[in-house]
Structure 1
Amino acid sequence: MTISDHVSDLEPAVQAGDDPREFAHVLSAVHDAAMSGGRMPARPRAVIDDSWQRLRRAGLSPDADTAVERGLDVEELEERRRQSGLHEVVDELARNLDSLIADGDNILVIADARGHVLWRSGSSRVLHRADQLGFIEGADWAEGSVGTNAIGTALMSGRSIQVFSAEHFVRSHHSWTCTGAPIKDPRTGEILGVVDVSGPAATIHPTTLALVHAVARLAESQLREQHHRRLDCLRAVAAPILARSPGPALAVDVDGWVAAVDAVSPRSRLVLPRGVGPGRSFFGALGECDVEALPGGWLVRVADAADRSTTRVSMRTVMTAAGGESVEVSVEGASGGWTHRCSPRHGDILTYLARHRSGVTAAQMSTHLFGVDDRTVTVRAEMSRLRKRFGGLLMAGPYRFADGVEVRLVG
């Protein structure tokens, strides 16, 4: 007998028409054989097998007592909720999955990107059972802490997953089934957390996976719409201010997403300096800028060249982990500084510009990099990437460090 693997991203643990009790019996035999090193009567699904192998390599015991795992205290839990990026969709997730928990057998859980349980809801009966398992708010439900489960394994695999009975690595979870789907930040694609529905193994249903997966996608759409609305509001406030701005400026939200620009090259996001606030700050992509508070974000005005303090650039060659060399660039100004480790190619370009302060043409740079003067298209592409990284520090026509920038080669 084999446990079939499906190529579909949505792979229910139990297929329609299968007897869950019989299947649980098979899974129990598979689990016992896998944990003891014996011959398995069937093969687990690929996503489960991958998880079991990870956990065995990590040394987790299938008999681990997960109910005593350390959780978050109240203050840590509230902070995780605020920082999760999921608080805006909690009510929507609960509303769309109410049909799965209304009968009182299942629990709804929302976890963050590290697997910590942030919110849960369900009947007192199922919550009590979850308490006995350590499935409580603040608990660490990452795969490395509690074994194969729909929260931790969804985070590890990056896909929606259903885990049934003895597919759980830890034996104390075998009486449960759980279905989880990752929720991704629609702006970056990074996983924000997981929405999960769990309950007694007997409650498993093949359609649960499709529903939980669909609800996670709806949550992502809601997050995207909310982000666009916030940028629209910020743009409405910033537009008349930018129209009167005497120089280059842009409006960004608190995470650096750009709502509007004026006389600045278009971009979707600006990397904000750590601890940014009203006053002068150094932005890697723009140089020194004056920052003003706006409702829901910041107005960033690029400082006039005559009003900028001296910027110092230090470059030194460092060894990479693979034994090669790269160039570490440190930039310091009156308003702060930052460090960036360049690729060997970009380090070579910056070092060459540091030794030719009057500037070089694309053809000259091509000759330096490739030994011929006709690779100018490649040079322009590389310089465009560097200028996006170093902003006002690098100039074109010819390529050079900007006037007033002190450059020092170290070592």
Structure 2
Amino acid sequence: MTDAEQGRHRARERALAGGEARSRPVIAASWRRMRTRGLDPGADPDVPPLDTSEIERRRAASRLRPLVPHLRRALGTAVDDGDQLMVLTDDEGRVLWQDGKPGVRRLADRLGFVGGSAWTEGNVGTNAIGTCLVTGGPVQIQGAEHYVESHTRWGCAAAPVHDPWTGDVIGVVDVSGPSRGMHPSALAMVRLAARVAELEVRQEHVTELDLLRARAAPLVARLAGPALVVDRHGHLAAVTGVEAPERVTLPDDLAVGSVWLPTLGAATAEALPGGWLLRLEPEPGSAQSSSLVVDLTGADPRLAVTGPSGSWSRRLSPRHTEILVSLVLHPAGRTAAELADDLFADTGRVVTVRAEMSRLRRVVGALLRHQPYRIDPAVGRELLLPADPAGVLPGSSAPVLGRLR
């Protein structure tokens, strides 16, 4: 065992005995989340995989699907020259693709690290896939830095793949295997692979938006009232008669006809090839007489907003779910540091919190206030929980959800 490995094991023993976790900050924060989550470090996590049909459905829907060959080539050195797996997951940490030699695949099978398993912090403890989904950046976890004992002979490096157009995580690129054989450049490799994937996704969006702009220009030129054309993700392609944001958050169930948008108010939606024409009503949206419902009773968390002119609903990302739960539970508001503690068990992650709040404000507009962050006092708010709160976002390790459970 190397000196570095011995140091990690000593730090692990000290932390499990109740002492200070003298580890890298990213590891110490993750372990605090695990203790809040109540995860047993000596237990073998039980992560039932999805069935084959659901894995295939998720593969077909994954934005990473066309990029799998490119990612395989980018990570080929680790897979072909060492005992490492290439793993690609969806945004929930569910394993969709694996590639590696039979020996390392058998070792992964013993850990339950198989197709369809959920490799999040809340399910299996500190690990590169789950921890990078929490931090939003590349992470490498070596040996005893894992929280669960059975994973301490394993090493992994992972990076989230973001959709540059929406900011959403669309998956994770990971290299994993026995810690002793971890490729020295694994972290750099997954970081580069994720970046290449993001550039490919961005170029696809740019091409689609340019085509929509060309189609929309003559249409918008003939309109008399305020209107805008957006792509299917809400990005602005053309506008007339109104000052519009670069992106409008659209409801999941947008259809032709009347629609109400938190950031724009009442509008009429007309379908276009690759996007939507939104004809705006004269009165802007307002927080007055609005209500906000965070619904955690279904398989996917949802946000429903009702305003003076209509209602609006969309699926929530895990991070935005965590934020809104905290704000509903704290009507007086939360500072950036308090939210960082609620989400990450790390009061220092205020930059990440501010970036997430900026993205969330694009979704709900003036319904959110800042200094401190809070839901507008004029807005009614409700949190709907399942009969058993323990089932709320099981993959999340955010302390605010741990306390809720």
Distance 1:317 1:219 in 2: 38
Of the three residues 266, 269, 285, the one matched with 2:247 is: 269
> Residue 36 of structure 2 aligns with which residue?
57
Normalising by structure 2, what TM-score?
0.65
Of the three residues 111, 114, 121, the one matched with 1:133 is: 111
- Assess, with a 3 A threshold, how the Cα gap between structure 1 residues 338 and 55 changes in structure 2: closer, same or farther: closer
Is 1:180 paired with 2:158?
yes
Distance 2:269 2:230 in 1: 10
- Asked whether the equivalents of residues 292 and 298 of structure 1 are also in contact (C-alpha less than 8 Å), the reply is yes
Distance 1:252 1:215 in 2: 30
Is 1:27 paired with 2:8?
yes
- Asked whether the equivalents of residues 149 and 168 of structure 1 are also in contact (C-alpha less than 8 Å), the reply is yes
- Assess, with a 3 A threshold, how the Cα gap between structure 1 residues 296 and 124 changes in structure 2: closer, same or farther: farther
- Asked whether the equivalents of residues 21 and 202 of structure 1 are also in contact (C-alpha less than 8 Å), the reply is no
Is 1:248 paired with 2:226?
yes
How far apart are 1:243 and its partner, in Å? 2.6
Distance 1:32 1:101 in 2: 32
**What is the total number of aligned residue pairs between the two structures?**
306
The AA in structure 1 aligned to 2:182 is I
- Asked whether the equivalents of residues 290 and 307 of structure 2 are also in contact (C-alpha less than 8 Å), the reply is no
- Assess, with a 3 A threshold, how the Cα gap between structure 1 residues 270 and 26 changes in structure 2: closer, same or farther: closer
How far apart are 1:202 and its partner, in Å? 1.7
The worse-fitting range, judged by mean Cα deviation, of 215-224 and 244-253 is: 244-253
Distance 2:190 2:70 in 1: 12
The worse-fitting range, judged by mean Cα deviation, of 52-61 and 171-180 is: 52-61
- Larger Rg, first or second structure (1 or 2): 1
> Residue 220 of structure 1 aligns with which residue?
198
TM alignment of 1:10-409, pairs within 5 A = 21-37=2-18, 43-66=22-45, 68-81=46-59, 85-103=63-81, 105-302=83-280, 315=289, 331-333=307-309, 336-337=310-311
- Asked whether the equivalents of residues 104 and 122 of structure 1 are also in contact (C-alpha less than 8 Å), the reply is no
> SS in structure 2 opposite 1:136?
coil
Distance 2:116 2:161 in 1: 19
> SS in structure 1 opposite 2:161?
strand
Distance 2:111 2:132 in 1: 19
CA RMSD across the alignment: 3.5
Distance 1:316 1:188 in 2: 26
How far apart are 1:241 and its partner, in Å? 2.2
> SS in structure 2 opposite 1:250?
strand
Listed one character per residue, the Cα deviations across residues 123-179 of structure 1 (whole Å, up to 9, x for unaligned) are 333222212211112211111211111111112223312111111111111221101
> Residue 370 of structure 1 aligns with which residue?
none
The percent of aligned pairs where both chains have the same amino acid is: 43
> SS in structure 2 opposite 1:280?
strand
> SS in structure 2 opposite 1:128?
helix
Distance 1:389 1:201 in 2: 46
> SS in structure 1 opposite 2:40?
coil
How far apart are 1:274 and its partner, in Å? 4.5
How far apart are 1:120 and its partner, in Å? 2.0
Distance 2:38 2:127 in 1: 17
The worse-fitting range, judged by mean Cα deviation, of 20-29 and 115-124 is: 20-29
Distance 1:33 1:283 in 2: 52
- Assess, with a 3 A threshold, how the Cα gap between structure 1 residues 252 and 316 changes in structure 2: closer, same or farther: closer
Q: Which runs of 5+ in 1 are unaligned?
A: 1-19, 319-328, 344-384, 391-411
How far apart are 1:76 and its partner, in Å? 4.1
- Assess, with a 3 A threshold, how the Cα gap between structure 1 residues 127 and 298 changes in structure 2: closer, same or farther: same
- Asked whether the equivalents of residues 332 and 338 of structure 1 are also in contact (C-alpha less than 8 Å), the reply is no
How far apart are 1:232 and its partner, in Å? 0.8
Listed one character per residue, the Cα deviations across residues 49-102 of structure 1 (whole Å, up to 9, x for unaligned) are 222222123221222212x31233345444544665444533332221122212
The AA in structure 1 aligned to 2:140 is Q
Distance 2:251 2:291 in 1: 25
How far apart are 1:231 and its partner, in Å? 0.6
- Assess, with a 3 A threshold, how the Cα gap between structure 1 residues 312 and 208 changes in structure 2: closer, same or farther: closer
How far apart are 1:260 and its partner, in Å? 1.8
Distance 1:275 1:264 in 2: 25
- Asked whether the equivalents of residues 88 and 223 of structure 1 are also in contact (C-alpha less than 8 Å), the reply is no
> SS in structure 2 opposite 1:102?
helix
> SS in structure 2 opposite 1:206?
coil
The AA in structure 2 aligned to 1:46 is P
> SS in structure 1 opposite 2:170?
strand
- Asked whether the equivalents of residues 291 and 306 of structure 2 are also in contact (C-alpha less than 8 Å), the reply is no
Listed one character per residue, the Cα deviations across residues 320-360 of structure 1 (whole Å, up to 9, x for unaligned) are xxxxxxxxx95354xx4359x9x9xxxxxxxxxxxxxxxxx
> Residue 376 of structure 1 aligns with which residue?
none
Q: Which runs of 5+ in 2 are unaligned?
A: 293-304, 314-323, 328-360, 367-405
- Asked whether the equivalents of residues 251 and 299 of structure 1 are also in contact (C-alpha less than 8 Å), the reply is yes
